[in-house]
């Protein structure tokens, strides 16, 4: 009997709660009853039901208000589609439970006022209370199952949102890494261009210094050549002087020979006083001829010496170029392309 009384109290309390909510809902805007026809099935880690359009935002759950823990007779379609509907064919949605009407009838019966037990048999009252308790327990079980499925769907949505967030975060990180890599490549190209410019300037300085040292090394042979050419000029001048002296002695010998012929003619005529003079003139003629021949030979030797020095001076030209080339290549750092041989003095 106590169980029957408890069941009646529970029924009365439930009915009062429903009546209070209905009274509270009467003062708020009314919405169309919730229906799974306003939901559509989408793929999100499996098929789930979501609102099908902008018009499907809020609806009136009616007697299912307590199932959604709603303070008023209104619920968001996203919650209703997820918990009360299930995907069907052609991406449509249908009621999740076939016995929704049965549950609604149970809740309506629970809301009806209970008859007074004074005129009924206590056994009937007890049996009615037990049946009502069983119905309420069954309704509570169905709500618990619905809540479990809703939690499962919510977990699936949370996992999908987490995976999408993780994917978007990875994509953002990859994009940021790609942008950073592009910045590094651009900076590396700028640094490489600056390094090439610095390298080219350094190579130009190295070439200029090597060319200067090559000219200095070649100038030694140039100076030696000029020195030898001056010596050759001195020999040529000496040869000219000797040749002139030889001509002078030759002219002197000719004059003395003419004088000798004149004295000889006078001696033949009988003038014997000039015999000693004739001998002196003959000696002077011979000395003049000998001196002329000697100086001529010396002049020819001086000319040959000058010609030999000039002929050997071409060696200095080759040595000058060789010294310049050797110094140019030796002074250049490794890896620097050598410039053309600079003009030599």
pLDDT higher than threshold 70 for residue 101? no
Give the residue with greater pLDDT, 227 vs 108. 227
Among 146, 159, 154, 147, smallest CA distance to 45 is for: 159
124/321 Cα distance (integer angstroms): 136
Reported as a single tens digit per residue, the pLDDT across 45-66 is 788 889 988 888 889 888 777 7
pLDDT of residue 1: 47
What Å distances lie between residue 145 and 70, 75, 138, 139, 169, CA to CA? 18, 19, 10, 10, 35
Give the residue with greater pLDDT, 124 vs 217. 217
Under the banding of pLDDT at 50, 70 and 90, the label for residue 326 is very high
172/181 Cα distance (integer angstroms): 14
pLDDT of residue 166: 85
Which of 131-162 are b and which e, b meaning 16 or more Cβ less than 10 Å from the residue's Cβ?
ebbebbeebeebbeebeebbeebeeebeeeee
Q: What is the mean pLDDT of residues 269-274?
A: 76
Any idea where the domains of the chain sit in the sequence?
2-113+121-177, 203-331
Reported as a single tens digit per residue, the pLDDT across 15-39 is 555 555 555 555 667 788 998 889 9
pLDDT higher than threshold 50 for residue 204? yes
Per-residue tokens: 268: 């033949």
pLDDT of residue 248: 92
pLDDT of residue 99: 44
pLDDT of residue 2: 47
Q: What is the mean pLDDT of residues 91-110?
A: 61
pLDDT of residue 271: 74
Q: What is the mean pLDDT of residues 109-115?
A: 50
Reported as a single tens digit per residue, the pLDDT across 137-167 is 777 777 777 777 777 877 787 788 788 888 8
Highest mean pLDDT among 109-113, 173-177, 191-195: 191-195
Reported as a single tens digit per residue, the pLDDT across 209-262 is 999 998 999 899 889 989 998 999 999 999 999 999 999 988 988 988 888 888
CA torsion sign, 229 to 231 to 233 to 236? negative
């Amino acid at each position: 009997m106590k169980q029957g009384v408890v069941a009646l109290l529970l029924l009365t309390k439930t009915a009062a709660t429903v009546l209070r909510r209905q009274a509270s809902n009467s003062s708020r805007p009314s919405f169309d009853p919730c229906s799974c026809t306003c939901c559509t099935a989408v793929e999100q880690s499996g098929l789930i039901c979501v609102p099908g359009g902008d018009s499907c935002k809020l609806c009136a759950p009616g007697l299912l208000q307590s199932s959604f823990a709603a303070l008023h007779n209104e619920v968001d379609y996203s919650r209703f589609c997820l918990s009360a509907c299930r995907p069907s064919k052609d991406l449509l949605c249908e009621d999740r439970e076939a016995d929704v009407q049965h549950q609604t009838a149970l809740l309506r019966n629970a809301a009806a006022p209970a008859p007074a037990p004074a005129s009924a048999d206590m056994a009937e009252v007890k049996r009615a209370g037990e049946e009502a308790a069983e119905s309420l327990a069954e309704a509570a079980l169905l709500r618990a199952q619905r809540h479990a499925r809703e939690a499962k769907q919510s977990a699936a949505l949370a996992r999908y949102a987490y995976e999408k967030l993780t994917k978007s975060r990875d994509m953002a990180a990859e994009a940021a890494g790609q942008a950073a890599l592009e910045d590094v490549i651009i900076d590396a190209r700028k640094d490489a261009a600056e390094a090439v410019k610095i390298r080219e300037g350094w190579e130009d300085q190295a070439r200029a210094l090597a060319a200067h040292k090559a000219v200095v090394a070649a100038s030694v042979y140039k100076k030696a050549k000029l020195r030898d050419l001056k010596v050759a000029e001195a020999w040529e001048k000496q040869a000219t002087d000797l040749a002139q002296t030889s001509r002078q002695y030759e002219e002197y010998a000719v004059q003395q020979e003419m004088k000798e012929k004149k004295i000889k003619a006078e001696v033949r005529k009988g003038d014997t006083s000039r015999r000693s003079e004739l001998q002196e003139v003959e000696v002077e003629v011979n000395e003049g001829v000998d001196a002329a021949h000697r100086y001529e030979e010396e002049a020819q030797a001086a000319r040959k010496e000058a010609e030999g020095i000039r002929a050997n001076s071409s060696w200095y030209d080759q040595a000058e170029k060789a010294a310049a080339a050797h110094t140019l290549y030796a002074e250049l750092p490794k890896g620097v392309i050598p410039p053309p041989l600079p003009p030599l003095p």
